[in-house]
Amino acid sequence: MSLQRSLVFLDASVLVAASHSPSGGSAVGMEACQGSRFRAAVTSRVLLEARVNIAEKFGEGDLVRFYRQLAALGPVMVPPPSEEQVHNCMALTTEKDAHVLAAALECNAAYLITLDRRHLLTPTVQLAGLPIKVVTPGDFLREITSEGKSG
């Protein structure tokens, strides 16, 4: 019996936070995606958005940390989502964030980890009946820790 690692799609907000706070929840959540249970997934657009935000907000030290964290993470690079999926996701979130939700859905991720409470961690998204859990890094860590205790 071979266990396939579940995909965890990371939003740019998590990558930015992890680069700035290497011991915070976002960084720890990313580390959980290096184990036997989970594998991180991103798109090139998410990586670009994170890189630009880190460079603008924090500078070179955090940018170097971002690249080191990415190298350690070895995420699955998923293709950009289809225009149809992005369009469908615009009913749930903003045009700017629809690509994130669409990519996470198209790659069949088990989780979408984000810090975006305004556009992704909303009742509209949470109650949409999606086949993905949209959670904060802290919620992700609490859930996988409690699963480990019960299973």
User: Could you tell me what percent of the chain has a pLDDT over 90?
Assistant: 90
Class of domain 6-150: alpha beta
> 134 in helix, strand or coil?
strand
Residue 56: predicted pLDDT: 96
Residue ranges of domains in the chain: 6-150
Residue with tokens 């740019």: 12
In the predicted structure, residue 150 carries a pLDDT above the cut 50: no
Instruction: Give 35 or 46, the one with higher predicted confidence.
Output: 46
Distance CA 77, CA 69 (A): 15
> 86 in helix, strand or coil?
helix
User: Could you tell me what percent of the chain has a pLDDT over 70?
Assistant: 95
Contact in structure between 39 and 75 (CB atoms under 8 Å):
yes
Residue 1: predicted pLDDT: 41
Contact in structure between 8 and 38 (CB atoms under 8 Å):
yes
**Is the entire prediction scored with pTM above 0.85?**
yes
- Mean pLDDT computed over 44-63: 97
Tokens representing 25 are: 């929840």
- State pLDDT tens for residues 62-117: 999 999 999 999 999 999 999 999 999 999 999 999 999 999 999 999 999 999 99
